[in-house]
């Protein structure tokens, strides 16, 4: 049971990290698109 809980916790952390990376990539892409559109 303890191993399962530890696995679930690491799984949640992986999801959180993935969401943060996707959000950062989307933000960078938005800034790049905005810069290209202005120029």
On average, the pLDDT of the chain sits at: 89
Give the C-alpha separation, 8 to 24, whole Å.
24
The pLDDT confidence band at residue 39, using thresholds 50, 70 and 90, is confident
| Residues 15, 30, 20: CA angle, nearest 5 degrees | 15
Q: Which residue in 23, 21, 24, 3 sits closest to 11, CA to CA?
A: 3
Out of 7-11, 18-22, 30-34, pick the least confident: 7-11
pTM of the model: 0.63
Q: What is the pLDDT of residue 9?
A: 76
Give yes or no for residue 13 having a pLDDT over 70: yes
């Amino acid at each position: 049971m303890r191993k399962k809980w530890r696995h679930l916790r690491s799984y949640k952390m992986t999801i959180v990290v993935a969401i943060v990376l996707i959000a950062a990539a989307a933000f960078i892409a938005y800034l790049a698109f905005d810069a290209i559109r202005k120029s």
